[in-house]
Amino acid sequence: MGAKLHSMPEIPGKMKERFEAIFGRDYDKFEECCRNDYKKSFRVNTLKISVEDALELLKGNGIITKRIPWTKNGFFTDVKSVGNSFENFMGYIYIQGPASMLPAMVLDPNPGETVLDMCASPGSKTTQIAAMMKNKGVLVANESDYKRIKLLRFNNDKNGVLNSVITNLDGRDFAKSKLRFDKILLDAPCTGEGIVMREWEVIKRWNMKLVIKMCRLQKDLIASAISCLKPGGTLVYSTCTLSPEENEEVIDHALKIGGIELEDIELKGIKTRKGLTSWDRYTYNERVSKCVRVWPQDNGTEGFFVAKLKKV
Amino acid sequence: MEQQFIDYIKDRFGFTKEDFGGLVFIADEKRVYVTTEEVALEENLPGKTHSYGIVAGRIQRDGRTIKPTTNFLQVFGSRAKKNVFDVNDEEKELFIRGTCIETDSELEKGYVIVRWRNHILGCGFLKDGILQSQIPQSRIMKV
Ligand SMILES: C[S@@+](CC[C@H](N)C(=O)[O-])C[C@H]1O[C@@H](n2cnc3c(N)ncnc32)[C@H](O)[C@@H]1O
């Protein structure tokens, strides 16, 4: 992150109170980080170009890049207009937040597998998963909001995603589907607290009722996801929010449903925090500490939460 | 419509069957998609399937012509054997911004694959000495 400050609106009282409870002494660093300018980042779309060729092309066009330490294909750049570059026009790169690349990496999809991206639009992770699958196997990209499918379609087209089918279902209805998956990404709808620094809308929309509403939906979605995993299959649950109700509480709920185990997540090159085992009046299953919290102030990224579950 | 599209692109660009090995074309009322056999053969896909793979062609208002998409050509265009229109550095900048280019090219009238160096930029339409960029507004480079 650069040092330039931008004028983010005040974080409202209740939200701030909760952030202070989550971050403790680190709260000031969090707020400072929110007000700092952030570096642009992108992922090379290996469905269309090799990393080497993309970097050479970018360099030729004056776009200096630095690899995001925890990724293979992700890069930072100081060039703000990278979104309007030739490389982006060609679909050689995909503009994506540096922490947003983590869930698909943790999912680790392989060519030939049957994979579900349950809440897919606009497709940052669908396109990343397809690239990891090398366009082989079956990738179901689902989005419940018909209006948002256009964006998903656009990105799959632009990025050359051939091995995918787009479906327009409520994720909760997948439980009825006959298809069973090797891997599922549930990048759930959430209050988006981890991206306040990029989208101030998050502040305007935020209230406790929304947190609770999201929590209920997320619990239903994770139950549905678990039911359509193959035995031994992997489910990655992720959000770009910080509220324990939308994160650890959902995983705690999943563990109560049973038939799944939480797995360790190994990430190199990024500072992460353990999942919280208690919050407010609640205590969660000790195992939720295996989940990973990515805090903005630790790495200069968006905030993220990632959990990895295996069906037994 | 699928077969009509395949016949058209084979004829127009000299593609062969092998260029689309392991792939399947699927049409709905408006578009022709190209996807993998694995996806097309999956029997248990949930209901409410919206679309497949990438949009390869758009069925035009006349109901007969199918326009190949820039996205399709960017992926497969390098395998074409004819009707490839090479642009220079200056023309490339115009083309990707959706601007027409005057030309004395002798290629046949109709859709062409526009190439700059070894990069397939997308779909153009050649007529009366003008190359019209067919890149959709949502996809062009902003000025
Ligand atoms: C966090 S966004 C997904 C971002 C996406 N995975 C990406 O990386 O580009 C959550 C998405 O879930 C969709 N959604 C909301 N409720 C849903 C439901 N019940 N079933 C499926 N999708 C839902 C939203 O419309 C939104 O597009």
* Closest to A241 in 3D by CA, of A289, A199, A275, A191: A191
Residue B27 forms contact with A (CB below 8 Å)? no
Q: Is A190 a catalytic residue?
A: no
| Structural domain boundaries, residue B26 | 1-81
Instruction: Quote the ligand 1 centre to A218 CA distance (angstroms).
Output: 11
Last residue of a domain, one of B65, B81, B97: B81
Question: In chain A, which among 103-162 make CB contacts under 8 A with chain B?
Answer: 114, 135-140, 142, 149, 153-154, 156-158, 160-162
Q: Are the beta carbons of A302 and A198 closer than 8 angstroms?
A: yes
DSSP string, A35-96: HB---EEEEE-TTTS-HHHHHHHHHHTT--EEE-TT-SSEEEES-GGGGGSHHHHTTSEEE-
Indicate the residue of A86, A137, A158 with minimum beta-carbon distance to B38.
A137
Mutate which of A47, A157, A230 to disrupt the B interface (most B C-beta within 10 Å)? Answer: A157
Mean pLDDT computed over A179-207 = 92
pLDDT of residue A6: 60
Three-class SS state of B31: strand
**CATH number, domain containing residue B99:** 2.30.130.60
Q: What is the mean pLDDT of each run of 10 residues along chain B (143 residues)?
A: 93 94 94 96 87 96 91 97 96 96 93 97 96 95 84
Same domain, yes or no: B34 and B89: no
Going by the DSSP 8-state scheme, the letter that residue B30 receives in this structure is S
Cα separation, A125 vs A114, whole angstroms: 15
Nearest-angstrom CA–CA distance, A275 and A115? 26
Distance CA B55, CA B30 (A): 10
User: Is the per-residue pLDDT at A38 higher than 70?
Assistant: yes
Does ligand 1 have an atom closer than 6 angstroms to the CB of A125? yes
Residues B112 and B94 in one domain: yes
Domain edge (last residue) among B46, B81, B116: B81
CATH number at residue B73: 3.10.450
Is the CB of B141 less than 8 angstroms away from the CB of A86?
yes
Q: Are both B111 and B70 inside the same structural domain?
A: no
pLDDT value of position A7: 67
Task: Find, in chain A, the residue whose alpha carbon is nearest to that of B70.
Answer: A158
Q: Is the predicted pLDDT of residue A108 greater than 70, yes or no?
A: yes
The whole-angstrom separation of Cα A237 and Cα A19 is 21
Whole-number pLDDT of residue A290: 98
Compare all CA atoms of chain B with the CA of A111 and give the residue at the minimum distance: B38
Please indicate, yes or no, whether residues B51 and B40 belong to a single structural domain of this protein: yes
User: Mean pLDDT score of chain A, rounded to an integer?
Assistant: 95
Total domain count, chain B: 2
Q: What is the CA radius of gyration of chain B?
A: 16
User: Does residue B92 sit in the same domain as residue B65?
Assistant: no
Do B51 and A153 count as a contact with CB atoms less than 8 A apart?
Answer: yes
Confidence of residue A4 (pLDDT cuts 50, 70, 90): low
Q: Is the pLDDT of residue A196 over 90?
A: no
Distance from CA of B126 to the nearest CA of A (A): 21
Q: Are residues B14 and B73 in the same domain?
A: yes
CB-CB under 8 Å, A154 with B39: no
Question: Looking at the structure, do residues B6 and B21 belong to the same domain, yes or no?
Answer: yes
The one-character DSSP state at A188 is: -
Which domains are delineated in chain A? 98-311 (3.40.50.150)
Instruction: State pLDDT tens for residues A228-285.
Output: 999 999 999 999 999 999 999 999 999 999 999 999 999 999 999 999 999 999 999 9
Q: Are residues B52 and B99 in the same domain?
A: no
Residues B2 and B20 in one domain: yes
Atom index in ligand 1 nearest the CA of residue A239 equals: 1
- Give the tokens for residue B53: 């793979």
> How many Å apart are CA B38 and CA B55, to the nearest integer?
17
Whole-number Å distance, alpha carbon A215 to ligand 1 midpoint, is 14
Q: How many helices (H) and strands (E) does chain B have?
A: 4, 10
| pLDDT band at residue A64 using 50, 70 and 90 as cut-offs | very high
Whether B47 and chain A come into contact, CB under 8 Å, resolves to yes
Q: Is B78 on the interface with A (CB under 8 A)?
A: no
Contact A136 B141 (CB under 8 A): no
Nearest to A179 among B45, B53, B139 (CB): B45
Asked if the Cβ–Cβ distance from B49 to A89 is below 8 Å, we say: no
Residue A238 contacts residue A304 (beta carbons within 8 Å): yes
| Last residue in a domain, options B81, B108, B129 | B81
Q: Are residues B5 and B64 in the same domain?
A: yes
Contact of B17 with chain A, judged by CB distance below 8 Å, is answered with: no
Residue of B nearest to A158 (CA): B71
B102 and B47 both lie in a single domain: no
**Are residue B65 and residue B123 in the same domain, yes or no?**
no
- For the cut 60, the answer to whether the pLDDT of residue A2 exceeds it is no
